[in-house]
């Protein structure tokens, strides 16, 4: 994630989310851990939401109602996705990012679509010199989806 200093609890939550994504842990375990940490002094709901949005959308769906509007407004999920599109550009990745962004927008999470579009374009530019059209196709579809989402706003 984009925040360099993280608590052990935040790192544990990220690992839980990764395990949920891998099918090794039920999302309820991560949701309950999120709830148990909400009163901690170093708890930042926006950062934890970004972790869930990026790694385990099922967890994000389970915690979104616990995240205050002002914390949703501080989300950095657009930057997180944009920064990772150069390494995560397969069909599954791009479909998941599109679904995540739709969910985020529908639930009042701040999403800078221009930032994600820029990241998508950078990734396409990087692939342009060596990748086949089939390899680039998921990013092209994501780019089109982002433009559609932008037009809807």
pTM over 0.85? The answer is: yes
Provide the 10 A C-beta neighbour count for residue 116: 26
Longest dimension (CA), the chain: 49
Side-chain half-sphere CA neighbours of 98 within 13 A: 19
pLDDT tens digits, 35-69: 999 999 889 999 999 999 999 999 999 999 999 99
pLDDT tens digits, 70-124: 999 999 999 999 999 999 999 999 999 999 999 999 999 999 999 999 999 999 9
């Amino acid at each position: 994630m984009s925040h360099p200093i993280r608590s052990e609890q935040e790192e544990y939550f990220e690992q839980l989310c990764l395990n949920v994504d891998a099918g090794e842990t039920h999302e309820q375990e991560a949701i309950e851990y999120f709830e148990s940490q909400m009163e901690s002094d170093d708890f930042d709901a926006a950062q934890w939401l970004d972790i869930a949005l990026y790694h385990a959308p099922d967890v994000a769906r389970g915690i979104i109602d616990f995240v205050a509007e002002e914390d949703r407004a501080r989300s950095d999920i657009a930057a997180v996705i944009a920064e990772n599109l150069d390494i995560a550009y397969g069909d599954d990745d791009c479909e998941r990012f599109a679904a995540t962004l739709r969910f985020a927008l529908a639930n009042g999470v701040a999403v800078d679509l221009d930032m994600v579009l820029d990241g998508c374009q950078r990734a396409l530019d990087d692939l342009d010199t060596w990748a086949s059209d089939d390899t680039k196709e998921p990013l092209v579809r994501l780019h089109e989806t982002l433009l559609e989402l932008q037009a809807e706003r």
